[in-house]
Amino acid sequence: MKEILRVVAGIFGVAILLSFFAASVSADPTITISIVHPPPNMLAIPIRDLDEVQLCDSNQGNCSELILINLSRVDFTDFHITVKPPQPFPITGRGDGVFQNAHGTESSIDFSVGRSSSGISVGDFFSIKTSGFSKDTVFFGNATASIPEPTTMLLLGTGLAGIAAAVHYGRYKI
């Protein structure tokens, strides 16, 4: 009887150790953003403005790949993704030429344009692929665009008017 109890206790101890190590070995949450050419046959989520929108709720469907389209009037230079609830590990991101690779926190990640990335142009279809997230994750996203300040536009307009005036008066001067 003692031998049986010792074998059962040993098996139980090994099972506890295995479950401990298996729980700590999990995939880091990763998000990949890439341009999709040609447009996919699946329904795309339209992004019409720069406000935050709910992209996907994993309780209601598969969030492993989302297809979006930029229907705003500006090119996206940044894309921010927030997840609820926070994940156990920080989120990592791959930009695949669209944005720079990014490192986020447990609850958000910010992608931005760099030297070797282009951003998302108006009318572009793009995909967001996710992996390593918990099953009850809700994804939110919003984009930002670099829009020139009014002072910059005023300075540019004044400079162009000055060049036009110099050309005009220089041409007709005798």
Amino acid at residue number 20: F
pLDDT in the model for residue 81 = 94
Mean pLDDT of 93-99: 91
Whether residue 40 is predicted with pLDDT greater than 60 in this model: the reply is yes
Q: What are the tokens at 129?
A: 């692929």
Beta bridge partners of 79: 111, 143
Whether residue 170 is predicted with pLDDT greater than 90 in this model: the reply is no
CA distance 78 to 1: 67
Whether residue 171 is predicted with pLDDT greater than 70 in this model: the reply is no
pLDDT band at 145 (very low <50, low <70, confident <90, very high): confident
Q: Kindly report whether the global pTM for this prediction surpasses the value 0.85.
A: no
**Higher model confidence: residue 52 or residue 5?**
52
